Amino acid sequence: MHASHRPPRHPRAWLPLLLLSQAAVAWLWWRWGWPVGLPAMLATHAVAWWGVLAPNAALYGPVLSRLPIADRDVWLTIDDGPSDQTAAILDLLDAHDARATFFLVGERARARPDLVREIARRGHGIANHSATHPQARFWALGPRRMRAEIEGAQHELRNITGSAPRWFRAVVGHANPFVSAPLRDARLARVGWSARGFDAVERDVARVVARIERDLAPGAIVLLHEGAPHGRSVEMIAAVLGRLEALGYRAALPE
């Protein structure tokens, strides 16, 4: 599974495509006027926005959305911690003999370093989920702030555990043209998902589990959260673990 770890190699590969597309738009506008030029411009802008907003879009750099395996293994990923619920989630994972990767927020890790070390001690993965989790504006961060978010979390997690994370998940799954350069420099690979239940906002446990189950397959990357405002994250993770067992899936790490 190590082949799945693909940090960006060419963080500005999108730039020639952007320049070429806009040159083509300008030519179309000059040749046939706005009835052709305007739709062409809107289409190219739509593609650029798709690269920002679609969680598994690889326009601005590679993103892993599924593990290339045939075994009935899935990768459980738990975002937004550490939190008051981390200890209970660790006990659940132990009870089900399951492994997960915790995508942690740097400032929250700094406030709860013992929980971070406990995650690692119990054999789970620790990954980078930004320094401050700027949910409303991550998609719009400029190059300096984007680098600070990625490198800040990397610094905190490395100081706490002694090891640098290898995986990164963008906040809300959004990316932009400035995400790949700091990922390349930190040797971080971006991770999306292939199965989600909207557990951060949905209160109904059964609906969350049903949505995830619809997308389960060998190598699925399952998106879960801890510390959701509705307070039911532990219950939801317990239900997902139970359903995975019933369906014959094993929650394992990609390393």
Q: What distance in Å separates the CA atoms of residue 190 and residue 138, rounded to the nearest whole number?
A: 15
Q: Is 63 left (phi over 0), alpha (psi -120 to 50) or beta?
A: beta
Active site residue 5: no
Active-site position among 73, 79, 80, 199: 79
Residue (of 249, 233, 232) closest to 241 by Cα position: 249
Tokens of 245: 């067992």
Residues ≥6 apart with Cβ < 8 Å to 78 = 89, 100, 101, 102, 103, 224, 225, 226, 237
Active-site position among 124, 129, 174, 225: 225
Active site residue 129: no
Tokens of 228: 């959701």
User: Tokens 């550490």 appear where?
Assistant: 82
Q: Compute and round to an integer the Cα radius of gyration of the chain.
A: 20
Q: Which amino acids are annotated catalytic?
A: 79, 225
